[in-house]
Structure 1
């Protein structure tokens, strides 16, 4: 935190003691029908999988009303997840608004929301084997929407490195390969992520973003319901469990498994994809 030369006023303690107000009370958010989703998942059939290699990324596609699961395999590993509308890359995961609506970390029953002007649920978390972790004594928790993604630009800024297996780079290459476009065309589509399995928070004294060893172990998973057709992109972070660093060829890294499941016919009767935001943009733009 920056040093200040301005002394505290006489009423400083009184000002600090003002109670906070939640910016976006979320009790009016549309509630997912977790019971229906889980019942449909119980009888769903696996239709595909992608193994994401360590220090690399892979894309995957999930049809509307299907499920996808991200699993730690072989060793503790965190991942960076991007999501787009499968048919329109301009609609993508909005981590900032998701954070404002749900908080700094996501778990069961919470959702990944899409960008303006649609602002609708993209994916709903239906199972989280790490939901037991909660918030630890340092203020840390798992599956954050506060970190952006490790990237070569910040690495160069802070330490003059030219590291090319950062999650940003991995996600860019994977998207370019999947869509058959150039790296220059793919890079602007890469966006802030859901840090799957990563354990993070803000320091109490300086308010800095921190990471610590993830509690994830082989077999742990995070499972989602796709609210509409999705293009996903997952990077197996070069920091491994991010216990020491997040851009390194030295950290122990492991693959991540993405599996896609199709519901049985009739299992989701009555369900339909959420409509885009009903806000009338003709007013006050």
Structure 2
């Protein structure tokens, strides 16, 4: 019998099987890869992004972008587009659904809306990110800081998109690193205090040629009482080629299938 001709009970059992396997993977210790060092000779470009501002860059496949949370900001938002076809971009829903987790840290990947892998998280010293809320908006700034006119991630990403011939339809929900958002028993979302410290590092290895947008604005749930994000540092560098047992490429079956969809483009 074809998979699209199975009974509801079969689909339910299959779903539970996949869910239980994914939960086991998530709870298991993530082994097989330590922190990947960035050698000074591998550095290609450095930039400092002031608080509240944005920056964009092209990152070819095989290079990595390091985000350094120099001041311990509560949130740094990132958006990814396929630089060879800007209609393909990061999809937050698929990234969570395909990997059965909201815990995106070392070993996880960021999927596009076409089932391909845009980038891999090869280092994450903070271990906290948010792919549910998206970036800050004028309304979140009004709620948090009493001023809707402050700079925000939604408008920053729209400015980045406009500079590359895109418009608001090309700016979906982004991912916010250095953002520890917890889901309570009632399904509500809240910020976990004390979880973001200065000096945190996230490295994204490009698995496609990427256009990357970075917005240095606080997360919508930031507990700060004043809008005062400090500067962050970003570094584009040549990452080591992934080994056969690369953690991101082997962590789960869904990621493996994502790479099977991605790698033929560059064969």
Shared fold, TM over 0.5: yes
SS of equivalent to 1:106: coil
**1:111 maps to which residue?**
109
SS of equivalent to 2:179: strand
Note the residue ranges of structure 2 that are not aligned, 5 or more in a row: 1-14, 26-30, 250-257
- 1:158-169 counterparts in 2 under 5 A? 162-163=148-149, 165-169=151-155
CA RMSD, 1 decimal: 3.9
**2:86 maps to which residue?**
89
- 1:125-274 counterparts in 2 under 5 A? 125-131=121-127, 142-152=128-138, 162-163=148-149, 165-177=151-163, 179=164, 181=165, 185-205=166-186, 207-213=187-193, 215-238=195-218, 242-244=222-224, 250-263=226-239, 267=241, 274=259
SS of equivalent to 2:195: coil
- Structure 1's 229 and 162: CA in aligned 2 closer, same or farther, altered over 3 A? same
**1:54 maps to which residue?**
51
- 1:55-74 counterparts in 2 under 5 A? 55-74=52-71
Matched, 1:276 2:261: yes
Q: How many residues align?
A: 231
In structure 2, how many angstroms separate the alpha carbons of the residues matched to 1:277 and 1:62? 16
Deviation sequence 1:48-87 (CA, Å, 0-9, x none): 1232221121111111111111111134341111001111
Note the residue ranges of structure 1 that are not aligned, 5 or more in a row: 1-19, 132-141, 279-285
Q: Which has the higher helix share?
A: 2
In structure 1, how many angstroms separate the alpha carbons of the residues matched to 2:67 and 2:260? 26
Max radius of gyration: which structure? 1
